[in-house]
């Protein structure tokens, strides 16, 4: 039976660590602030934004949620982004995705100042990540690496398989695993013999967006399985991409949904925001 990698526990620890550092900075007269911009009424986005504000409060980070109506123009949004870039009291800035269809997400992301891009989505941060330079790592894959490391098992030399190649999860996940010296296979909807490939994985990361996509026959005995998926099931509950109960019988470690990667993603945002404030105040790590 697999051991559970608890996103809840790890995220709490991370947030406590961030809170202590935020407190120290405050003692030195430095405040830490995150601005989150949301456009429209997407219910999932609203939930995510509320979660971010709650985490900020728990960490002593000041947060401001800027709400724009659905019909906001791209230029209006860009103006706000530029204003936040210029505002020295704002350390971290993120625009909640997805944006309404009439707004080009690429243009908006590209407008965020790289030094405030705590989501790690701008081309500058992505480029730095690719070449292994200091940058803001995207929160979800960074959280997955933390979860893998929490098992105490080495990543170095292991065979890792990532299912999904999105810019925010799959691709950076593969890069971060490679940076940890895993041998990485990145799979997608055109991959042939997916189950065979998955069965070779010591580390299997699922970021597909399909409930119970990873079945027990796709998992090697003793593998570490990281489930990034968040899917609203027919039962109205949240489910991952992994058939949790069956895969738990084979894996050595597994992340639950909910209570797994999602919580660590949020904790990594707090870490990045603290890091942004430290860098902007001249405190480099
Ligand atoms: P995308 O839809 O952007 O990407 C899905 C990926 O899965 C694509 O690369 C696609 O391949 C691949 N895929 C789809 N069908 C198959 C298939 N049959 N076989 C193999 N690969 C397939 O999703 P995201 O990466 O944004 O998100 C993935 C999941 O993770 C979602 O459930 C999302 O809600 C969740 N998520 C969770 C987060 C968290 O904090 N826990 C954060 C972000 C996302 P192709 O490229 O060929 O189309």
pLDDT value, residue 283: 73
Neighbours of 265 (CB within 10 A): 25
Cα(118)–Cα(28) distance, integer angstroms:
22
Tell me how crowded residue 175 is: count the other CB atoms within 10 A of its CB.
20
How far, in Å, from the CA of 249 to the mean position of ligand 1? 24
Q: Is 206 in the pocket of ligand 1 (CB under 6 A)?
A: no
Residues 256-276: tens digit of each pLDDT: 999 999 999 999 999 999 999
Instruction: Determine whether 226 is exposed, middle or buried from the number of CB atoms within 10 Å of its CB (0-12, 13-18, 19+).
Output: buried
Q: Which domains does the chain have, with CATH numbers?
A: 29-113 (3.40.50.10860), 139-262 (3.40.50.720)
Q: State the 10-residue block means of pLDDT for the chain, 285 residues long.
A: 97 98 97 98 95 98 98 98 98 98 98 98 98 97 98 98 98 98 98 98 99 98 98 95 98 98 98 98 75
DSSP code string of 145-170: HHHHHHT----TT-EEEEE---TTTH
Other CB atoms within 10 Å distance of the CB of residue 157: 10
**Which is catalytic among the residues 33, 96, 220, 243?**
96
Long-range contacts of 259-263 (CB under 8 A, 24+ apart): 259/6, 259/7, 259/8, 260/5, 260/6, 260/7, 260/147, 260/226, 260/227, 261/7, 261/140, 261/143, 261/144, 261/147, 261/226, 261/227, 261/228, 262/7, 262/230, 263/7, 263/8, 263/10, 263/11
Q: pLDDT value at position 282?
A: 87
For ligand 1, is residue 209 a contact (CB within 6 Å)? yes
Asked if residue 170 has its Cβ within 6 Å of ligand 1, the reply is: yes
DSSP bridge partners of 64: 35
pLDDT tens per residue, range 144-197: 999 999 999 999 999 999 999 999 999 999 999 999 999 999 999 999 999 999
Q: What is the pTM of this model?
A: 0.97
Check if 13 is active-site. no
């Amino acid at each position: 039976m697999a051991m559970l990698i608890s996103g809840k526990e790890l995220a709490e620890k991370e947030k406590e660590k961030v809170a202590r550092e935020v407190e120290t900075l405050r003692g030195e007269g430095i405040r830490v602030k995150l601005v989150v911009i949301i456009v429209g009424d997407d219910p999932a986005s609203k939930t995510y934004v509320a979660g971010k504000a709650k985490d900020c409060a728990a960490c002593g980070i000041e947060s401001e949620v800027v709400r724009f109506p659905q019909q906001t123009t791209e230029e209006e949004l860009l103006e706000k982004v530029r204003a936040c870039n210029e505002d020295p009291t704002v350390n971290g800035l993120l625009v909640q995705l997805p944006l309404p269809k009439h707004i080009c997400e690429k243009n908006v992301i590209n407008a965020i100042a790289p030094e405030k891009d705590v989501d790690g989505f701008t081309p500058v941060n992505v480029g730095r990540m690719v070449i292994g330079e200091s940058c803001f790592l995207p929160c979800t894959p960074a959280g997955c690496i933390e979860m893998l490391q929490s098992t105490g098992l080495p990543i170095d030399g292991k065979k890792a398989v990532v299912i999904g190649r999105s810019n925010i999860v799959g691709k950076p996940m593969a890069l971060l695993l490679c940076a940890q010296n895993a041998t990485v296979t990145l799979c997608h909807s055109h991959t042939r013999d997916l189950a065979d490939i998955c069965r070779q994985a010591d580390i299997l990361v699922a970021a597909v967006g399909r409930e119970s996509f990873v079945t027990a026959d796709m998992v090697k005995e003793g593998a570490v399985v990281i489930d990034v998926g968040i899917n609203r099931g027919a039962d109205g509950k949240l489910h991952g991409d992994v058939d949790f109960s069956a895969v738990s019988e084979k894996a050595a470690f597994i992340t639950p949904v909910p209570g797994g990667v999602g919580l660590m993603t949020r904790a990594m945002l707090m870490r990045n925001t603290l890091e942004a404030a430290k860098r902007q105040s001249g405190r480099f790590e």
